[in-house]
Amino acid sequence: MVFPSAMAPFSWQARSREHSLTASPNFRQWFRGFTEGSSSERRVTAMTMGTLGVALGVRLLYDARYVQPYRPGLTRIDLVVPPGHEGLANLTIGFVSDTHVCNAFTPDDVARAAALVIEARPDLVVLGGDYVSGSPRYIDGAAEALGRLAEAAPLGAIAVLGNHDHSVGADSVEEALQAQGITVLRNAATAVDWQGSRLWIAGPEDSLLGRPNLPATFAPIPLGAATLALWHEAQFAERTAACGAFAQLSGHSHGGQIRFPFFGALPVALPPHGRRHVMGLNCAAGMPVYTSRGVGVYQPPLRFLCPPEVVFVTLRAGRP
């Protein structure tokens, strides 16, 4: 077939890979025009490119502020129960953390994320702290949105508190959650019975503004029991591993909220006690620890390449 001569300027697209873009007459002509043209032509070209760059930056900023923070996803993970507790295999747990209800993130936004968990139908729900930010006036709305999770899960919901809950009034947050039927652990543990097997949830206090007491937290738990640690910060997960937990669920760091390709989150953007096990599945002293990116946002209220998430955990039996 003979191509029309009008297609000749674009013929580089059909050539083999050894012909680079720079070999195109069109590209050479454009580059020569840019470098050898008059100063006014170069100025116009530079202004055009600058305008396009600014437009792209504005679009990315808009997306980071008004789009990405409000598109939660459901992440599914498996955790292996310790030997002798295979009866817990297939128990499912919904994990929600860091809802941060405030003027930038409403109870309706939390409900959108909670709906993903409810639709997945977990047996149990655990909540990782930081339910509100900035003011105690957001407590009741946050608690009501989370209460729907407790109603939907057959085994109910269990929560710990985070540093922001302490900053607005830990006792008030605890009371509001309990009013919604949610069990709150503060240096305490509770047992969940499922199909003849028992899972313990150990909930230390927040490590940043609370007073965590791991000996008191693990004291009620029998030696060798299957224990899942629920601690707002993942920073000190090795300590719960030393107390006998087989896994830990945490939040707090939000994954950094803003992440860059090939680099990740800027260290300065990570909160105190949130700079280890920043997000996803990690290992602490041989124990798996999963750090959720969270549901809400904190200042600045932006997310970039770090979408919000809720987590669906399935307990599995280990290899025989």
DSSP 101: B
3-state SS of 252-298?
Answer: CCHHHCEEECCCEECHHHCCCCCCCCCCEEEEECCEEEEECCCCCCC
User: Which DSSP helix (H) or strand (E) runs through 56?
Assistant: helix 39-66
Is 130 strand, coil or helix?
coil
pLDDT digits (tens, 9 = 90+) for 149-165: 999 999 999 999 999 99
Can you read off the two tokens belonging to residue 252? 């707090």
Find the helix packing angle between 139-152 and 163-179, rounded to 10°. Answer: 60
For residue 268, what pLDDT is reported? 78
47-102: pLDDT as tens digits: 767 776 666 666 776 677 787 889 999 999 999 999 999 999 999 999 999 999 99
Question: By 3-state DSSP, what share of the chain in percent is helix, strand and coil, each rounded to 5?
Answer: 40, 25, 40
The closest of 193, 143, 138, 135 to 168, measured between CA atoms, is 135
Would the pLDDT of 8 be above 60?
A: no
Task: Give which of 70, 125, 63, 128 is closest to 308, Cα–Cα.
Answer: 70
| 93, 123 Cβ separation under 8 angstroms | yes
CA 311, CA 255: separation in Å to the nearest integer? 14
Q: Say how far apart CA 121 and CA 108 lie, in whole Å.
A: 20
* Side-chain-facing half-sphere of 258: CA atoms under 13 Å: 15
Q: Could you give the angle at which helices 39-66 and 25-36 cross, rounded to 10 degrees?
A: 110
Tens of pLDDT, residue by residue over 143-199, are 999 999 999 999 999 999 999 999 999 999 999 999 999 999 999 999 999 999 999
Strands 287-291 and 280-284, bridge-based pairing: antiparallel
- The upper half-sphere exposure of residue 158, i.e. CA atoms within 13 Å in the direction of its Cβ, equals 26
Mean pLDDT throughout 270-277? 93
